[in-house]
Amino acid sequence: MAEKAPLALPSRPKSLLVKLLAFVVSLALIAQLGSAGIVSYFATQAAQDGFEKRLAAYVDARNEIIGTLVWRLQFEELDRILKDMLKEDGVVSVRVYDETDALVGSAERQDDGGRVVTHRANLRYAHNGVRDKAGHLALRASLAPIMAEGWRQ
């Protein structure tokens, strides 16, 4: 007669304590990852806000110079200043329009394809007591340096 194979014993069920410990550890890991993501998000938002404030101050510092060049129709000098503005970290394009919304100067460089913010500012002309609008400026800046910095933290 053929011998019967012995029956396999059922494996012992894990104790409730081991299951509970595994559950608590997984919850702790999920909470840690979630809090790291939230902290990273708020840090990136703060860096973006600081970057946009720096851009606004940068444009404001050059406002009257650019406004004067547009007012006096000195477009060669305007082009030189706009190309110089591209050297600022993150700036990908600068466009200047006169008071009739005609494009009078622009400069741009290769964009890295990331998120871009646009900062617009009205240009002012002020000389010898004469104060007037001189058009507006649109500056586009890439957020890629900020995003990369956020991932490195």
When pLDDT is averaged across residues 12-37 and rounded to a whole number, the result is 81
CB of 119 closer than 8 Å to CB of 139: yes
Say what the pLDDT of residue 9 is: 54
Q: Give the per-residue pLDDT at 13.
A: 58
pLDDT of residue 59: 86
What is the DSSP track for 84-143?
HHTTSTTEEEEEEE-TTS-EEEEEE----SS-EEEEEEEEEEEETTEEEEEEEEEEEEE-
Residue 8 has pLDDT above 60, yes or no: no
Task: Give Cα separations from 61 to 66, 100, 118, 122 (angstroms).
Answer: 10, 23, 17, 13
DSSP 8-state class, residue 14 = P
0.75 surpassed by pTM: no
Q: How far apart are CA 142 and CA 70, in angstroms?
A: 26
The tens digit of pLDDT for each residue in 32-88 reads 888 777 877 787 788 788 888 888 888 888 888 888 888 888 889 999 999 999 888
Q: 77: which 2 tokens?
A: 């000098």
